[in-house]
Amino acid sequence: MTITVQPRLTRVFRFTRASYADGVAELAYAFDEGEELVETIRFPQAPAVPTERRAAFDAALKLLHLVAGVSYYKAGVPPKIELADGPLDDGTAELLDQLYLHGLAEFAYRNGLDLRGRIAFPRLGAGTGTERSRGGSAPAVGALDLPKRTLVPIGGGKDSLVAVEAIKAISGEATAVWVGNSALIAACAERTGLPTLNIQRELAPGLFELNRLGAWNGHIPVTAVNSAILAVAAILYGYDSITFANERSASAATLEYDGQQVNHQWSKSLAFETLLGDWLHTHVAADLDYCSLLRPYSELAITRAFAKLTPYFDVFSSCNRNFKLLGPKPVDRWCGQCPKCHFVFLALAPFLPKPRLLAIFGRNLLDDENQAAGFDALLEYQDHKPFECVGEGAEARAAMYALSQRPEWQEDALVERFRSEILPQLDATQLALEPWLEPSPEHRVPARLQAALAAIG
Ligand SMILES: CC(=O)N[C@H]1[C@@H](OP(=O)(O)OP(=O)(O)OC[C@H]2O[C@@H](n3ccc(=O)[nH]c3=O)[C@H](O)[C@@H]2O)O[C@H](CO)[C@@H](O)[C@@H]1O[C@H](C)C(=O)N[C@@H](C)C(=O)N[C@@H](CCC(=O)O)C(=O)O
Ligand SMILES: Nc1ncnc2c1ncn2[C@@H]1O[C@H](COP(=O)(O)OP(=O)(O)OP(=O)(O)O)[C@@H](O)[C@H]1O
């Protein structure tokens, strides 16, 4: 495919069409009058869409088209957005405005862009008269009597496996589902013993051509894309709930810049969960629940729970370098260099026998002076939290403090450095591990699944 637009000079981003037939969804976009960029999602062994769920399916597919557009919009960030299907009701436009602004906040910060005031999805009634500048709300949909079973997304790391085991503990009917073709995630899903569902996602090849032509590039809110894919899947296959494994800490900003919070994990935050969960209730099906089973828990509470799940130790990995579409992957599941490797090593250390942890990682990251800067960033010492899915700085400091009190860890280079150099500068009353293990009451887990929460804490 030959791309003829210069991405950074484009004027309009267009959502041109979304179609679905025989298990294949095509989501198409274009800049200005340029070629279509078509993303493809494949739903395996898809049944025919049941008639009574047709409207819900169409609504979910439309949302997926709008959400997945973020990968392409970011290539040019033109000032105008156009929708071939016409403007959106207020609720939908608000969800999209928020997602593109906050989900692309890291992208904007790193590229020196300011997206505030730039992103405005067309709204019904906007600009058509003085009496109504916004489009009003769509009539709320009813329940569809969806089967009482749960889609549990699997990411290959510890969090989703903790969620799986919590659902298994209450004998909930569930399917382990993942998007993409990662063999590592497939192995984890297989290990759960649950039925599995693997949905394929192929980005438009033209995006890589745009990248080569100097498109804007950077982080996108991928959890939102996966969530929208799973909403379509829930209606298609018949599930009444989608339970992600997004932790409490995911709501905390990575940094604040020019009055704006920048959160790498925004589409894992409670704010996004609330927006999407409410939207699905009003626009798709009143009985389709979208939530995170791990929302009450800190990363440390989750690593404590995961430390008991020994059958997964030889298959899981939280290192995101495994999940790159292009380029090399770590040879042995953990690159040992990235913020996720650093954080997971540190957060598991208080809860696992040391030899067990070293066996998982194949090395001792805390006894390697070359990794000091990486751990400093986690501790928010002379740096900000990394742009990655890691816990809060205070949480990392609590874990490091716990290790500094243990004979088996305190001689290791970076623990010793923490004790001698960093600890004297910290408020010792803020370093206890125990408060991090307490669940918070805030979550959106539906009544039917709440017993699973007790299986985690
Ligand atoms: C695996 C990874 O971390 N990828 C990020 C990385 O991408 P990179 O360029 O190094 O390589 P690829 O992943 O192979 O992607 C190639 C290009 O494709 C585009 N792209 C990819 C996926 C997608 O959904 N949309 C896309 O537009 C993009 O142009 C890529 O350059 O760096 C990129 C730039 O910062 C990131 O966008 C890539 O992140 C992936 C989308 C990804 O899946 N990342 C997750 C591991 C991730 O970050 N998860 C977060 C969830 C946060 C959230 O709010 O959803 C987390 O765990 O905290
Ligand atoms: N490819 C994927 N398909 C479906 N869901 C995914 C995928 N990747 C991540 N997720 C889900 O997104 C959420 C956030 O992912 P995240 O990487 O934080 O979790 P994880 O991989 O389970 O654990 P870890 O924090 O150890 O990496 C989790 O619920 C995870 O299951």
| Residues 385-404: tens digit of each pLDDT | 888 788 889 999 999 999 99
- Distance between CA 100 and CA 102 in Å, rounded? 6
Q: Which ligand is nearest to the CA of 184?
A: 2
| Mean local confidence (pLDDT), 316-324 | 92
- Per-residue pLDDT of 47-105, as tens digits, reads 999 999 999 999 999 999 999 999 999 999 999 999 999 999 999 999 999 999 999 99
Ligand 2: atom nearest CA of 306 is 26
Residue bearing the CA closest to ligand 2, atom 24? 157
- Give residue 452's pLDDT: 96
- Per-residue pLDDT of 211-260, as tens digits, reads 999 999 999 999 999 999 999 999 999 999 999 999 998 998 878 888 88
β-bridge mates for residue 14, sequence order:
30, 82
Q: Which residue has the tokens 């290539």?
A: 75
Distance (angstroms) between ligand 1 centre and the Cα of 77 equals: 17
Angle in degrees, 0-180, between the axes of helices 299-306 and 158-169, rounded to the nearest 10 = 70
> Taking a C-beta distance cutoff of 8 angstroms, is the pair 339, 265 a contact?
no
Beta strands in 22-110 (DSSP E): 24-31, 37-42, 80-83
> Taking a C-beta distance cutoff of 8 angstroms, is the pair 41, 62 a contact?
no
Q: Which carries the bigger pLDDT value, residue 388 or residue 408?
A: 408
pLDDT at 322 over 50: yes
Indicate the average pLDDT of the chain: 94
Q: Which ligand is nearest to the CA of 347?
A: 2
Query: Which of 83, 108, 378, 94 has the alpha carbon at shortest distance from 221?
Result: 108
- Give residue 217's pLDDT: 97
Distance (angstroms) between ligand 1 centre and the Cα of 204 equals: 14
Ligand 1 pocket (Cβ < 6 Å) reads 71, 203, 207, 211, 217-223, 225, 264-268, 320, 323-326, 389
Ligand 2: atom nearest CA of 247 is 18
Residue bearing the CA closest to ligand 2, atom 10? 155
pLDDT at 132 over 90: no
Q: Which carries the bigger pLDDT value, residue 126 or residue 218?
A: 218
- Distance between CA 9 and CA 78 in Å, rounded? 8
Out of 320, 343, 385, 390, mutate this one to test ligand 1's pocket (max ligand atoms within 8 Å of CB): namely 320
Residue bearing the CA closest to ligand 1, atom 46? 320
pLDDT band at 130 (very low <50, low <70, confident <90, very high): very low
- Give residue 225's pLDDT: 98
Task: Tell me the two tokens of residue 360.
Answer: 């998982």
Ligand 1: atom nearest CA of 272 is 54
How many other β-carbons are positioned within 10 Å of the β-carbon of residue 228? 24
pLDDT at 128 over 50: no
Distance (angstroms) between ligand 2 centre and the Cα of 157 equals: 6
Q: Which carries the bigger pLDDT value, residue 382 or residue 214?
A: 214
Question: Which string of DSSP letters, residue by residue, matches 309-324?
Answer: -GGGTTT----GGGG-
Residues 6+ apart with CB under 8 A from 218: 74, 104, 106, 107, 110, 111
> Taking a C-beta distance cutoff of 8 angstroms, is the pair 252, 392 a contact?
yes
Residue bearing the CA closest to ligand 2, atom 17? 155
| Mean local confidence (pLDDT), 195-220 | 97
Q: Which ligand is nearest to the CA of 224?
A: 1
- Give residue 69's pLDDT: 98
Distance (angstroms) between ligand 2 centre and the Cα of 331 equals: 20
Distance (angstroms) between ligand 2 centre and the Cα of 154 equals: 6
| CA contacts within 13 A on the Cβ side of 104 | 28
Angle in degrees, 0-180, between the axes of helices 54-68 and 270-283, rounded to the nearest 10 = 150
> Taking a C-beta distance cutoff of 8 angstroms, is the pair 425, 419 a contact?
no
Residue bearing the CA closest to ligand 1, atom 27? 71
Ligand 2 pocket (Cβ < 6 Å) reads 153-160, 178-180, 185, 223, 226, 244-246, 268, 318, 389
- Give residue 386's pLDDT: 84
Out of 324, 326, 392, mutate this one to test ligand 1's pocket (max ligand atoms within 8 Å of CB): namely 324
pLDDT at 129 over 60: no
Q: Which ligand is nearest to the CA of 203?
A: 1
Residue 248 is classified by DSSP as G
- Give residue 127's pLDDT: 55
Residue bearing the CA closest to ligand 1, atom 13? 324
> Taking a C-beta distance cutoff of 8 angstroms, is the pair 35, 245 a contact?
no
- Give residue 327's pLDDT: 76
- Distance between CA 6 and CA 273 in Å, rounded? 35
- Distance between CA 292 and CA 443 in Å, rounded? 7
User: What is the per-residue burial (b if ≥16 Cβ within 10 Å, else e) of 393-431?
Assistant: bbbbbbbbbbbbeeeebeebebbebbbeebeeebeeeeb
- Per-residue pLDDT of 336-350, as tens digits, reads 999 999 999 999 999
Distance (angstroms) between ligand 2 centre and the Cα of 155 equals: 3
> Taking a C-beta distance cutoff of 8 angstroms, is the pair 242, 150 a contact?
yes
- Distance between CA 175 and CA 265 in Å, rounded? 25
User: What is the per-residue burial (b if ≥16 Cβ within 10 Å, else e) of 302-318?
Assistant: bbbbbbeeeebbebbbb
| Mean local confidence (pLDDT), 265-285 | 97
Task: Tell me the two tokens of residue 139.
Answer: 């009539």
pTM exceeds 0.90: yes
